[in-house]
Amino acid sequence: KAGVTQTPRYLIKTRGQQVTLSCSPISGHRSVSWYQQTPGQGLQFLFEYFSETQRNKGNFPGRFSGRQFSNSRSEMNVSTLELGDSALYLCASSLSLAGANEQFFGPGTRLTVL
């Protein structure tokens, strides 16, 4: 069974631009969660989608948004990029809601904002 895939793997953007990251979960998994990892703040939860609905949200500004499609694939969008948005963005999938199930992570998208 294929693992979690994320595209693109690397991305360079400039301040003010917007970016869309994609995550395809393990086949049969219905929950996708997104995390941001930075050297200063560590791994922080962004949001979780289950059955095309956002179920949980971390403490991030409204510039960070996401969605989930009927095939469970998910995208996250960051608008009006800031230098501080440079980070490794990780997505994780689980069979059902992440709180009650084991999560499996993708390889991440490394975003650099110049």
Partner 1 sequence: GIQVEQSPPDLILQEGANSTLRCNFSDSVNNLQWFHQNPWGQLINLFYIPSGTKQNGRLSATTVATERYSLLYISSSQTTDSGVYFCAVEHNNDMRFGAGTRLTVKP
> Per rule CB under 8 A, is residue 20 in the interface with partner 1?
no
User: Interface mask (CB under 8 A) for partner 1, residues 48-87, using x and -?
Assistant: x------xx-------------------------------
Residues in the chain: 114
> Per rule CB under 8 A, is residue 100 in the interface with partner 1?
yes
Of the two residues 60 and 105, which places its CB atom closer to partner 1 in the complex? Answer: 105
Q: Which residues bind partner 1 (CB under 8 A)?
A: 33, 35, 37, 42-45, 48, 55-56, 88, 90, 92, 97-105, 107-108, 110
